[in-house]
């Protein structure tokens, strides 16, 4: 009989569930949308009960799709949107406020205050993170300030707080397990990157009682089981933040292994081994704790990757669908000096300028939409080189190849250009769903479906290798044009008045 593994992927826009067997063949799948709540510009919230109920629904639907019952599962792997904060009542399980979503700017003033109080350096020293409203701790602080009486109740031990993994596991296990893992906790701005424990000094500054927070465990722990919700004692055998799950799903177990995800946004993750690494412009986090060993990573987020294609499609109406970009971009050999810098919401890694704005530059009378579409595709590969260069400049890590995933990697032109501009092979695996597969493979390892990491690695199969074909001089020349164009977009929001 097959060894089935259930994968739970709680994302920002949808809840998904997969059932695979030990050969990673998919037997069941289900997905449901999550409602995005926008109380005001820049704020995003989710209803935590909807997160839970939608997730339960898709798990049931995926099991039905696979034609199996819960007792046929060997284990469960979990991955989720990171940094999002939920605060709820211990007794009733009722959230006291909506989930404040990772991308939301609710807690900008909370963080400004911490920085003006002079704890910015301490935060960075302990957690590795540059203080920002993005991270969970500031969102928990905001909820405790917002809801009357919440601070006192938290101090009396009546409230619990956590990231979405903690919220889901607590509920899935019938409120038995109150836990998180290193990878999720490293994104809260509350965990000491070296001790892998909540940092009491920071919690004191934040005014967040320790008793609200879950136990931090290695990523391949037994996080509890589904007895209470699904009537079968199936162990939850993995818990990873989405980007770290993607790195694991790309079999990037060794230092120097890198994955790049080309989704709506882009995220590059580099495994940097057993000690935390600080690289200017990139974010250090924990990749995972697996088989008794901790791996650290650095991460480079790029706000607009596939999103630029959506903009060409929906706003400029230059293409009908994102995949069309490949055909159009292929109609011209170069952009003839045109660059598109997609800094719509500022520049992210490694330059971090919230005041930068997007630009198309270098146009002449002979510029056509083909050049602009090609420039949009090229912007994805130049941004990737930006973060790779930052990693190479700030460390002695070697990056021999790039493993890629995400919706845009079906675009062969993009993949080839990426290999050309980086001058290293770009490898597309047969299975582009690295995130959920990473979580499921780790659950398979921890529950004994797989005997070793080597066996897990054998599930990562190459679809296509893109070898660099362009000369290094030509690649450098094109890239230096990008850098010059990128510099021009910096601080633009300061220079103009938006009427
Ligand atoms: P996410 O999980 O971040 O929502 P996906 O990994 O599903 O995103 O990727 C979707 C993104 O990839 C969209 O922004 C879309 O515009 C882009 N995309 C999809 N197919 C292509 C393609 N063939 N070429 C370029 N971009 C693409």
Ligand 1 lining (C-beta closer than 6 Å)? 263-264, 306-307, 309-310, 322-323, 325-326, 406-408, 410-411
Q: What is the edge-to-edge ordering of all strands in the sheet holding 426-429?
A: 283-290, 293-302, 266-273, 258-262, 402-405, 426-429, 462-466
Residue 125: Cβ within 10 Å count? 12
Q: Are residues 368 and 417 in the same domain?
A: yes
CB contact at 8 A, 40 and 31: no
Same-domain check for residues 277 and 328: yes
CA of 266 to the centre of ligand 1 (A): 10
With CA atoms as reference, report the closest residue to 442 among 269, 226, 219. 219
Distance CA 243, CA 254 (A): 16
Are 284 and 298 spatial neighbours (Cβ–Cβ below 8 Å)?
yes
CB atoms within 10 A of CB 97: 19
89 and 24 part of one domain:
yes
Are 436 and 7 spatial neighbours (Cβ–Cβ below 8 Å)?
yes
Q: Quick check: is 464 in a domain?
A: yes
Give the integer Cα–Cα distance in Å for 27 and 13.
23
Ligand 1 geometric centre to CA of 92 (Å): 40
Asked whether residue 499 is assigned to any structural domain, the reply reads yes
**Angle in degrees, CA 65, 70, 72, rounded to 5:** 95
Ligand 1 centroid to Cα of residue 261, in Å, is: 10
Q: Is 21 part of any domain?
A: yes
pLDDT at 1: 62
* Residues 182 and 299 grouped into a single domain: no
Please tell me the predicted confidence (pLDDT) of residue 396.
Answer: 86
The answer to whether residues 254 and 229 belong to one domain is no
Residues 271 and 404 both lie in one domain: yes
Domain boundary among 170, 199, 234: 234
Taking every pair of Cα atoms in the chain, the longest distance, rounded to a whole number of angstroms, is 69
- Mutational pocket test of ligand 1: of 82, 318, 408, the residue with most ligand atoms within 8 Å of the beta carbon: 408
Q: What is the pLDDT of residue 39?
A: 92
> Is residue 335, in this structure, part of any structural domain at all?
yes
Residue 59 in contact with residue 19, Cβ under 8 Å? no
Count of structural domains within the chain = 2
Tokens of 495: 């220079």
243 within some domain: no
Whether residues 201 and 319 share a domain: the answer is no
Q: Show the domain range for 471.
A: 250-499
Q: Based on the domain organization, do 366 and 229 belong to the same domain?
A: no
* Of 184, 206, 234, the domain-final residue: 234
Residue 496 lies in a domain: yes
The values of phi and psi at residue 415, to 5°, are -65, -45
Please give the number of the atom of ligand 1 that sits closest to the Cα of 407: 9
For tokens 């971090």, name the residue. 352
For residue 437, how far is its CA from the centre of ligand 1 (angstroms)? 18
Instruction: Tell me, yes or no, whether 208 lies in a domain.
Output: yes
Q: Which atom of ligand 1 is nearest to the CA of 306?
A: 14
Domain CATH code at residue 376? 3.30.420.40
Q: Out of 306, 321, 342, 376, give the residue to mutate to test ligand 1, the one with the largest number of ligand atoms within 8 Å of its CB.
A: 306
Task: Check whether residue 278 and residue 211 sit in a common domain.
Answer: no
Chunked mean pLDDT (size 10), the chain, 499 residues: 89 92 94 92 92 96 96 96 96 97 90 94 94 94 97 97 97 97 97 96 97 98 94 95 96 95 93 92 95 96 93 95 96 98 91 90 97 98 96 89 95 98 96 90 96 95 97 98 96 81
CA–centroid distance, 262 to ligand 1, in Å, is: 7
CA 4 – ligand 1 centroid, Å: 29
Quote the ligand 1 centre to 410 CA distance (angstroms).
9
Q: Closest Cα to atom 1, ligand 1: which residue?
A: 263
Say what the pLDDT of residue 381 is: 98
Rg (alpha carbons) of the chain, rounded to whole number: 22
CA 163 – CA 140 distance, rounded (Å): 10
Q: Which among 448, 277, 421, 269 is positioned nearest to 339, based on CA atoms?
A: 421
E-strand stretches of 282-377: 283-290, 293-302, 339-341, 359-361
Give me ligand 1 centre to Cα 310, in Å: 8
Which ligand 1 atom sits closest to the C-alpha of 305?
A: 14
Which of 322, 432, 434 to probe ligand 1 with, by most ligand atoms within 8 A of CB? 322
Euclidean distance between CA atoms 124 and 129, whole angstroms? 5
Q: Is residue 438 part of a domain?
A: yes
The verdict on 269 and 177 lying in the same domain is no
Three-state DSSP class for residue 117 = coil
Do 305 and 361 lie in one domain? The reply is yes
For residues 229 and 265, state if they share a domain: no
Q: Report the atom number in ligand 1 closest to the C-alpha of 406.
A: 6
Q: Is the pTM of this model over 0.85?
A: yes
């Amino acid at each position: 009989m097959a060894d089935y593994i259930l994968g739970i992927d709680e994302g920002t826009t949808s809840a998904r569930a997969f059932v695979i067997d030990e050969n990673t063949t998919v037997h069941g799948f289900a997905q449901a949308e999550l409602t995005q709540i926008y109380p005001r510009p820049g704020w995003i919230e989710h209803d935590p009960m909807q997160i839970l109920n939608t997730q339960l629904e898709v798990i049931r639907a995926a099991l039905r799709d696979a034609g199996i019952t819960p007792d046929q599962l060997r284990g469960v792997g979990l991955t989720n949107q990171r940094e999002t904060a939920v605060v709820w009542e211990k007794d009733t399980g009722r959230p006291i406020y909506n989930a404040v979503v990772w991308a939301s700017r609710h807690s900008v003033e909370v963080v400004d205050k911490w920085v003006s109080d002079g704890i910015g350096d301490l935060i960075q020293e302990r957690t590795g993170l540059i203080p920002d409203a993005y991270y969970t701790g500031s969102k928990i602080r905001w909820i405790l300030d917002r809801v009357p009486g919440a601070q006192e109740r938290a101090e009396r031990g009546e409230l619990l707080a956590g990231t979405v993994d903690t919220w889901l596991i607590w509920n899935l296990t019938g409120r038995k397990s109150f836990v998180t893992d290193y990878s999720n906790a490293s994104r809260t701005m509350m965990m000491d990157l070296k001790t892998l424990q909540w940092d009491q000094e920071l919690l004191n500054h934040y005014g967040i009682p320790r008793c609200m927070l879950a136990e931090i465990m290695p990523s391949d722990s037994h996080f509890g089981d589904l007895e209470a919700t699904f009537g079968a004692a199936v162990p939850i055998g993995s818990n990873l933040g989405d980007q770290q799950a993607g790195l694991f799903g790309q079999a990037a177990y060794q230092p120097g292994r890198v994955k790049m995800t080309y989704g709506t946004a882009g995220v590059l993750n580099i495994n940097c081994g057993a000690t935390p690494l600080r690289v200017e412009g990139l974010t250090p986090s924990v990749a995972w704790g697996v088989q008794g060993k901790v791996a650290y990573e650095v991460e480079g987020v790029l706000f607009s990757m596939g999103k630029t294609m959506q903009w060409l499609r929906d706003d400029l109406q230059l293409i009908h669908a994102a995949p069309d970009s490949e055909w159009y971009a292929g109609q011209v050999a170069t952009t003839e000096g045109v660059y598109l810098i997609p800094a719509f919401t500022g520049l992210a890694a490694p330059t971090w300028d919230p005041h930068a704005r997007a630009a198309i530059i270098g146009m002449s009378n002979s510029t056509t939409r083909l050049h602009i579409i090609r420039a949009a595709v090229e912007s994805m590969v130049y941004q990737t080189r930006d973060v790779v260069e930052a990693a190479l400049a700030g460390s002695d890590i070697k990056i021999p190849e790039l493993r890629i995933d995400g919706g845009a990697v079906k675009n062969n032109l993009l993949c080839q250009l990426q290999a050309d501009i980086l001058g290293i092979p770009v490898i597309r695996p047969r299975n582009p769903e690295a995130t959920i597969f990473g979580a499921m493979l780790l659950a398979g390892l921890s529950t004994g479906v797989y005997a070793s990491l080597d066996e897990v690695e054998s599930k990562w199969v190459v679809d296509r290798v893109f070898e660099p074909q362009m000369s290094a001089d030509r690649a450098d020349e094109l890239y230096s044009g990008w850098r010059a164009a990128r510099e021009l977009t910096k601080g633009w929001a300061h220079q103009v008045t938006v009427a």
